[in-house]
């Protein structure tokens, strides 16, 4: 079943890292893809002194690839500064998962976008203050 996916994708789908809700996050952001209807939400805990992502959680309603890519993007972002995390691309996500089927590449796009949302909202909030 689901042999079109790599072992890495299936492992993260079955046992997703960083899955769940975060209480009192420093930032939260959500994206959706209107075509497939999948939704991803990412929560961030940010160290104000060094701007590093100390903790990160995600909730995703979507396909196998949506769950695996959002879990992978949180793994890639953990411990990084916001500047570094912003540079994580859908290609990084797909490569870390040893590839995705072509029809599922848009799921990794969604995951990379989902990470940028809370970062943007955190940075915008800071500017207002």
Please give the Cα distance from 14 to 63 (Å, whole number).
12
Task: By CB under 6 A, tell whether 10 contacts ligand FES.
Answer: no
* Residues 54-83 interacting with ligand FES (rule: CB under 6 A): 62-63, 65-66
Q: Give the one residue of 31, 73, 82, 107 binding ligand FES; rule: CB under 6 A.
A: 107
CB 114 within 8 A of CB 31: yes
Is 36 designated active site? yes
Phi then psi for 27, rounded to 5 degrees?
-155, 150
Q: How many residues does the chain have?
A: 129
Task: By CB under 6 A, tell whether 36 contacts ligand FES.
Answer: yes
Residue 33: partners with Cβ closer than 8 Å, 6 or more residues away: 39, 106, 110
Residue 9: partners with Cβ closer than 8 Å, 6 or more residues away: 64, 65, 68, 97, 98, 100
Minimum CB separation of residue 110 from ligand FES in Å reads: 5
The catalytic position among 65, 72, 97, 107 is 107
Task: By CB under 6 A, tell whether 110 contacts ligand FES.
Answer: yes
Is 107 designated active site? yes
Q: Which is nearer to ligand FES, 11 or 55 (CB)?
A: 11
Active-site amino acid positions: 36, 107
Q: Which residues bind ligand FES (CB under 6 A)?
A: 33, 36, 38, 62-63, 65-66, 106-107, 110
């Amino acid at each position: 079943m689901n042999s079109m996916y790599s072992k890495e994708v299936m492992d993260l789908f079955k046992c997703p890292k960083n899955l769940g809700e975060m209480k009192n996050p420093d930032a939260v952001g959500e994206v959706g893809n209107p075509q497939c209807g999948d939704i991803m939400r990412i929560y961030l805990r940010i160290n104000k002194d060094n701007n590093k992502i100390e903790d990160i959680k995600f909730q995703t309603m979507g396909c196998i690839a949506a769950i695996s890519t959002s879990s992978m993007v949180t793994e890639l972002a953990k411990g990084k500064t916001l500047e570094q995390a912003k540079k994580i691309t859908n290609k990084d996500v797909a490569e870390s998962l040893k590839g995705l089927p072509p029809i599922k590449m848009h799921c990794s796009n969604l995951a990379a976008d989902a990470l940028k949302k809370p970062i943007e909202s955190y940075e915008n909030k800071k500017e207002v203050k």
